[in-house]
Structure 1
Amino acid sequence: MATISLWLLRRCRASGVLTYKTNNVRRCSQFSSSYQLSTATVGEKQAFDVDQAASLVKDLRNNFHSGKTKSYEWRVVQLQRIMRMLEENQKKIVEALYKDLAKPEPESFFWEISITNASCKLILEQLKGWMMPEKVQTNSATMSLSSAEIVSEPLGVVLVISPWNFPLLLSLDPVIGAIAAGNTVVVKPSEISSATSSVLSNLLEEYVDNSAIRVVEGSVAETSALLEQKWDKIFFTGGERVGRIVMAAAAKHLTPVVLELGGKCPAIVDSNVDLQVAARRITAGKWACNNGQICIGVDYIITTKEFAPKLIEALRNELEACFGKDPMESKDRSRIVNSSHFKRLANLMDEDKVSDKIVLGGQRDESQLQIAPTILLNVPEDSLIMQEEIFGPLLPILTVENLEDSIEVINRKPKPLAAYLFSDDEQLKTKFVQNVSAGGMTINDTRRHVFVSGLPFGGVGKSGMGSYHGKFSFDIFCHKKAVLYRSFAGDDKMSYPPYHTYKG
C-alpha cells in the first residue's frame, strides 16, 4: 500500500515484534470492574475533583515508597504485560483508532501498536544494563582510596498527559519509560480521542499493576485537578498554549517538566534531487500519516522559483499514486479529528491573502471531516497559515531566489520540532545542520530520525524541552544520583584546620 512504510514492516518482522493480523485476532477476556476515576458506572458521571486527585497521588506515593516499583522484576513484568496487551487486543485498538480518527488499519498497526511494542522490546533487552550504577573515575590524588558512581534512581510519582493524534503511542511510550525507570505513573489521555482513551483505560486496568499505574479519563476539569498536585515529573505532549499552562502549574511545586510541543517544521528542497523519490517522501511526511495531523510532519516547503512548478507537478503525481484521482474518496487517509479543527483549517485556507494561492486540492466536506491534500504557492509570511502550526493536510510552498536564503527564512521563525533538507549538495547539508536549530533533522527524507532509538526525540525553544526514546526514555524519568565512597584510610591532614600547621 502506497501509504505504508514498507521498511517499517520489514523492521518489525525482523526484530520479532508483532505480526500484523487482520483475522483471528485473539479477543481479551471480560474486563473486571474498572477503576474509573471519572465515571462510576457506564453513563453515570462522577466528579473527579482536587480531593480525589490528591488521594490518588497519595496512594501512588505510598506504593512507590513501598519499594516494589524499584525492582527489576516488577518493571519487566509490567512491560511484558503491555506487550501482551497490545498483541491480544489489536482489533479492539484498531477499531477505537478508526472511530476517533478514521485511521486506516495498517496505519494504526504500524504507527501505534508496532512502535509501542518495539519500545517495550528494546527496553526489556537493555534495562538490566541501564539500571546498573555507572562507574566514574576519581582522578584526584586525594581521592586515591575512593570510588564514585552515578546511580539512576526513579523520581517517584509522574504524570503523563497525552494528545489525540496518536492516542495510543503517545500515551504509552512515555509511560513505558516511566515504568522502566521504576516510577508510579498516572496517564491522562486526550478526551478528543475518546474511544481510544476508553479502550486504553480498560486495558491498562486489566493488564498492569493498578497500585502503581493508573489512568484518569476526562477533560479540562480532570486535567486541572491533576495539575494542582505535586508530581515528581510531568510529561506533556500537545500544543504550545496548553504547554504554557502545564509549565505554570508545575512551577508552583518546582516540578520538572518534559514538553513535546511541535511547531512549524520546514523542508528545503534543492533542484539536484531525485524528484520522484523526494516527492514520494514528502507526501509520506505530510499526508500519508494521520492526514497531516502529526507534530513532525512537513509544515511548509522552501524551494527556488524555477524549481517550484516541477516540484508541484511531482507532488501531484505522488498524491494521485497514493490516494487516487479523487483523494476525498480515498480510504487511506485519516479524517480531521473534529469539527473545531476542521473549521480552524478552513479558516487558514479562506484568509483573504491566502485563498487565491491554492494550486492543488482545496476540496472539503465538513460532514465527513475531510479536506483534500492541498498545496498553496507563495502565501504571505504574515498570513495565519505561516504563523501557526498547520496540523492538517495543507502545505504552503515558499520560493526564494537562492536556496541558501531559505535558512534565513527558517531562522526568522521559532525553532521547530523537526527540519528537513532534500539535497545532494554536501556544503548545503553542512550549512543546514550547523545553522538551523531544530529538535531533530532528517536529510533527504522525513520523520525517519524518530525511529532511531539511539537518537533523542524532543524539541528546542518553543517546540519543547526534554527528550525521550530508547535509553533517553529511561533517563528522563530518573534522577542521576552522584555517589562517592571513601575509605577510612589515607586521611590527609591538609583538609582540616588549623591550616597554618601545614608546611606544604
Structure 2
Amino acid sequence: MEWRRQQLRALLALMEENKDLFIEALRNDLYKHPFESLMMEIDFVCNEIISALNNLASWMAPEKVNKGLVNLADDCFIKKEPLGVVLIISPWNYPVQLLFSPMVGALAAGNCIVLKPSDLAPNTSELIETLIPKYMDSECIRVYPGGTEEASELLEQRFDHIFFTGNPNNGRAVMAAAAANLTPVTLELGGKCPVYVDSNCNLEVVAQRIIWGKLLNAGQSCVAPDYVMCGYDIQEHLFEKMKIAVQKFYGDRTGDSECYGRIVNDQHHQRLKSLLSRQKATYGGLIDDSQRMISPAIVIDVKPGDPLMEEEIFGPILPLVPVNGPEEAVEIINNREKPLTLYIFSHNKRLVQHFLSETSSGGVCINDTMTHVALESLPFGGVGESGMGHYHGKFSFDTFSHHRSVMWKSLALESVNSIRYPPYTEKNLRKLQWLMKKTLKRGGVLSFLPFIILGVFLLICSLDADSYF
C-alpha cells in the first residue's frame, strides 16, 4: 500500500506544481481557456487522486461475501490484486484528464503502467514525457510518445490490460490487437449523444445548458450533445434561445472570444468544413482557416437521414431535429448505435422514466449536460458501439484490479464434510441436497430459521445420528 500512496502523492505533486505549464500546453494545443483547463483537466485529475488517497485502504480491504449454510463456517472473501503491467492510450481532446484519470485507478490498484499520450496534442504530450520521470517511479511507470506507428508497436506487446480512449474504428483495432494475447480491454469510445427537450421546460435555461456542454472545447468532447430533438412547436423558440446563449457566452464575434477553443488540426477542421458545405448552417458557422476556428453553428429542421446525422460531429455544429413527440425521439435513438450519453430535459418524471426504460446508453444526464462525468461515484463508460467497461473513482480501481476469489476452510468438522465423499449413497445425497438447497427469502422471524436448522444439523452430524435421516 505504501508504494501506491507514494506514487499517488507524487502524481498529485506533479499536477499541482506544474499547473501553469499544463495550462500553457493546453492553450497551445487546443486554445483552451485556463478556466476550462483547470475545471475539465487539472483539477478534475487532482480530485480523483485525492479521492483515491482518502479511500485506498477501504478499496484494498478484502471484501466479505454472502454465504449459504454449507459455507457458513468458512472464511470467504474477494482479494483485490494488481493486474500487472497495463497500457493506457489517451486521445488529444482532453489530453491531461483522459490520460491521468485512468492512471489514478491503475496506480491505486498497484499496477505498472505504460502511458501513450496523443501526438495530436504535441505540447501536452511533450510536457508529460518530461515530467513523469521527474516525479514517478521510472521502473514501473513509462511514457511512450509518438503517433500511429508507435501505438502499433505497443499493441504488439503483451499487456495485462489495455485502456483505450478514442473513436470506435481505432477501438476495433485495439481490441483486435489485444485478442492476439487474450488481453482484456476497456474501450472508452464515443458516438452521437442525443438530447430530447420536452415542451414543459424553461427553454432559456435548457438552451444555456445545451450550448455550454456543446461548445466546451469547441465541441470536441465525446459526451458533447450531438443533436437535439424537440417538438415542432418549440423548435423556433429553442433556436432563438440558443442564439442568445451563444452571444451571451462568446459575444457577437466568437473568434475574438478568449473562452472559445479551436479545432485541433487541419484534418479535423476540413472535415467539419465539409459537413457545413453539405448542410448549411441556419445560424453561425463562420470559418477562419488561419485560426482553425469555426463559429458555433446551429442547423434547424434536420432530418434523421441528413448528412449531419451520419456520424459523430465532434465539433461546434448543432443540428435541431424536430419530432412528433417522445415516441419518435425514442425510435430515432434506438435506430442508431447506442450512445455514450443520453440527455433529457423535462419536468415530467413519467416521460423521463419512459426514456430510461425504452433506450440504452452508457449514461444518462437529466436536465443538464456533461456534469454527470464529474461525479466519481457514478461509473463512466459506454455500451455497444460507445464502448465497454467503465471507470472513475472506485470503478477505476476495480477496472485495474483482479478480483481473486478466496475460500478459507477449516480442517475441523470432517464428519460433516465426509458426506460428499465416495462411496456415494442416497442417504448422503439427501443430506447434501437439503443442506445446499436455496429457498425464497422470508421476512420476520422466519429469516433466522436456516441458522437454527444449521445448528441442529451440525449437532446431529457430530453425534453421527444417521437414524434421523
Match of 1:45 in 2: none
Amino acid at match of 1:114: D
Q: Does 1:242 align with 2:176?
A: no
Match of 2:462 in 1: none
Secondary structure at the aligned position of 1:347 is classed as helix
The alpha-carbon deviation at position 145 of structure 1 amounts to 3.0
Match of 1:342 in 2: 269
What is the rounded CA distance, in whole Å, between the counterparts of 1:299 and 1:117 in structure 2?
A: 29
Point out the structure with the larger helix share. Answer: 2
What is the rounded CA distance, in whole Å, between the counterparts of 1:493 and 1:258 in structure 2?
A: 44
Q: Does 1:281 align with 2:209?
A: yes
The alpha-carbon deviation at position 367 of structure 1 amounts to 1.0
1:200 to 113, 128, 131: 128
Match of 2:224 in 1: 297
**1:117-136 alignment to 2 at 5 Å?**
117-136=46-65
Q: Is the 8 A contact 1:145 1:489 kept in 2?
A: no
Q: Is the 8 A contact 2:304 2:332 kept in 1?
A: no
What is the rounded CA distance, in whole Å, between the counterparts of 1:118 and 1:401 in structure 2?
A: 43
Deviations 1:95-128 (A, max 9, x none): 1001100111111111110000000000000010
What is the rounded CA distance, in whole Å, between the counterparts of 1:393 and 1:194 in structure 2?
A: 22
Amino acid at match of 2:152: S
What is the rounded CA distance, in whole Å, between the counterparts of 1:316 and 1:144 in structure 2?
A: 65
> Larger Rg: 1 or 2?
2
Deviations 1:35-56 (A, max 9, x none): xxxxxxxxxxxxxxxxxxxxxx
Deviations 1:197-216 (A, max 9, x none): 00011111111101111100
Match of 2:82 in 1: 154
Match of 1:17 in 2: none
Amino acid at match of 1:417: L
Match of 2:456 in 1: none
Match of 2:422 in 1: 497
- Check 1:306–1:144 CA distance in 2 against 1; reply closer, same or farther (3 A cut): closer
**1:153-172 alignment to 2 at 5 Å?**
153-172=81-100
Secondary structure at the aligned position of 2:333 is classed as helix
Deviations 1:143-167 (A, max 9, x none): 3431100001110000000000000
Q: Is the 8 A contact 1:265 1:418 kept in 2?
A: yes
Q: Does 1:367 align with 2:290?
A: yes
What is the rounded CA distance, in whole Å, between the counterparts of 1:478 and 1:435 in structure 2?
A: 33
The alpha-carbon deviation at position 303 of structure 1 amounts to 0.4
Secondary structure at the aligned position of 2:425 is classed as helix
Secondary structure at the aligned position of 1:222 is classed as helix
1:184 to 94, 112, 117: 112
Q: Does 1:175 align with 2:103?
A: yes
2:249 to 310, 316, 322: 322
1:398 to 321, 327, 348: 321
What is the rounded CA distance, in whole Å, between the counterparts of 1:277 and 1:201 in structure 2?
A: 42
**1:348-363 alignment to 2 at 5 Å?**
348-351=275-278, 354-355=279-280, 358-363=281-286
Deviations 1:202-245 (A, max 9, x none): 11111110111110000111101100011100000000110000
The alpha-carbon deviation at position 364 of structure 1 amounts to 0.4
Deviations 1:246-302 (A, max 9, x none): 000000111000000010000101111111111110111101x10100000000000
Deviations 1:152-208 (A, max 9, x none): 111000000000000011010111110000000001000000100000111111111
What is the rounded CA distance, in whole Å, between the counterparts of 2:374 and 2:384 in structure 1?
A: 22
Match of 2:40 in 1: 111
- Check 1:405–1:184 CA distance in 2 against 1; reply closer, same or farther (3 A cut): same
Match of 2:404 in 1: 481
Q: Is the 8 A contact 1:404 1:428 kept in 2?
A: no
- Check 1:350–1:499 CA distance in 2 against 1; reply closer, same or farther (3 A cut): same
Q: Which runs of 5+ in 2 are unaligned?
A: 431-469
What is the rounded CA distance, in whole Å, between the counterparts of 1:394 and 1:144 in structure 2?
A: 60
Q: Is the 8 A contact 2:302 2:322 kept in 1?
A: no
Match of 2:380 in 1: 457
Q: Is the 8 A contact 2:190 2:382 kept in 1?
A: yes
What is the rounded CA distance, in whole Å, between the counterparts of 1:175 and 1:385 in structure 2?
A: 35
- TM-score using structure 2 length: 0.89
2:185 to 257, 271, 275: 257
Amino acid at match of 1:295: C
Amino acid at match of 2:13: R
1:467 to 363, 382, 390: 390
What is the rounded CA distance, in whole Å, between the counterparts of 2:171 and 2:324 in structure 1?
A: 37
Amino acid at match of 2:408: Y
What is the rounded CA distance, in whole Å, between the counterparts of 2:384 and 2:219 in structure 1?
A: 22
Match of 2:27 in 1: 98
The alpha-carbon deviation at position 397 of structure 1 amounts to 0.5
Across the aligned residues of Structure 1 and Structure 2, the Cα RMSD in angstroms comes to: 1.1
The alpha-carbon deviation at position 502 of structure 1 amounts to 4.8
Q: Is the 8 A contact 1:136 1:147 kept in 2?
A: no
Deviations 1:75-104 (A, max 9, x none): 111111111111111111111001100111
Amino acid at match of 1:255: T
The alpha-carbon deviation at position 138 of structure 1 amounts to 2.6
Query: Once the two structures are aligned, what percentage of the paired residues are identical?
Result: 44
What is the rounded CA distance, in whole Å, between the counterparts of 1:267 and 1:137 in structure 2?
A: 41
Q: Is the 8 A contact 1:187 1:215 kept in 2?
A: yes
Q: Does 1:137 align with 2:69?
A: no
Q: Does 1:74 align with 2:38?
A: no
- TM-score using structure 1 length: 0.83
Amino acid at match of 1:148: C
Match of 1:15 in 2: none
Q: Is the 8 A contact 1:459 1:465 kept in 2?
A: yes
- Check 1:417–1:501 CA distance in 2 against 1; reply closer, same or farther (3 A cut): closer
What is the rounded CA distance, in whole Å, between the counterparts of 2:191 and 2:213 in structure 1?
A: 15
The alpha-carbon deviation at position 501 of structure 1 amounts to 8.2
What is the rounded CA distance, in whole Å, between the counterparts of 2:128 and 2:237 in structure 1?
A: 45
The alpha-carbon deviation at position 403 of structure 1 amounts to 3.2
Match of 2:455 in 1: none
Q: Which runs of 5+ in 1 are unaligned?
A: 1-71
Match of 1:410 in 2: 333
The alpha-carbon deviation at position 402 of structure 1 amounts to 2.0
